[in-house]
Structure 1
Amino acid sequence: MTGTPIDVGRHRYRPPAATKDLVQARDRECRVPGCHRPVQACDLDHVDPWAQGGGTHSGNLCGLCRRDHRLKGEPGWHHRMSETGVLEITTPAGRTYRSEPEPLTTAA
């Protein structure tokens, strides 16, 4: 809308400020269910890892606190994000948890 790029694909690992702002506005806090650390104190994580071809855009980035970001890299953990921003986390035990971002606006 402003002409500022929010999707830089595979051209940059770190998101531009506009993408970071968009993801932080959407997520508000760590996206792991039960974790309420404010997103401003979180890492922006590539859900599909950069090293495996994941792009740098809001549909592939989410806020994870440092602890949950590190845990994601442990064997058996799987993260997947839908086009609507729903994050699904599957644990090594096979349980799946969904994290839906709150709507950015309220209905009048």
Structure 2
Amino acid sequence: MTLRNVYSCPLSGALTAMESQSRTFPKGLRKLIDLRDRTCRTPWCDAPIRHHDHILSRRNKGATTAHNGAGLCAGCNYAKEGDGWTARPVRRHGRTHLFDLGTPTGHHYRSAAPRLPSAARRSEIEAILIAHLRAS
């Protein structure tokens, strides 16, 4: 695998994204897309992810990146390649991953990746137990 760019969080140094010259999404990038998208990103579908798709296709110079990648079910991925469908990634810094999808009927939809899950609150009993463990 040849990498062009590797992106990391400036505070933690954790890897957040990468670009690849490969036509297929490398394993690490597929996993990042799976974690980010969770289910098919077509707005009206919630099927499991089966394809890691280039939003802007490779034949149209679409890069193999997290920004240009989306998790789709097989049916939505094949439909998106049909006549009259359009898709383009939307770059909005500091925002969740977005892409625009146009249908053959002229309708336009925006797909947003789901929000990250928030940390679970500790119950009162957990807080007491943790305090006892730390005290011992």
Q: TM-score range by the shorter chain?
A: 0.7 to 0.9
Note the C-alpha offset of 1:73. 1.1
- Structure 2, unaligned stretches of length 5 or more? 1-12, 122-136
Higher relative contact order (CA 8 A, sep 6+): 1
**Scaled by the length of structure 1, what TM-score is found?**
0.84
Whose Rg is larger? 2
**Partner of 1:52 in structure 2?**
60
Deviations 1:45-65 (A, max 9, x none): 101111221110100010111
State the number of aligned residues: 104
Match of 1:103 among 83, 107, 115: 115
Paired residues of 2:43 and 2:109 also in contact (CA < 8 A): yes
- Identity fraction in percent: 31
Note the C-alpha offset of 1:17. 1.5
**Partner of 1:27 in structure 2?**
37
Deviations 1:9-49 (A, max 9, x none): xx20112211111111111000111211122xx10110111
Note the C-alpha offset of 1:3. 6.3
Q: Which has the higher strand share?
A: 2
Note the C-alpha offset of 1:5. 7.1
Q: Secondary structure, in 3 states, of the residue corresponding to 1:87? A: strand
Paired residues of 1:44 and 1:62 also in contact (CA < 8 A): yes
Name the aligned partner's letter for residue 52 of structure 1. N
Paired residues of 1:4 and 1:18 also in contact (CA < 8 A): no
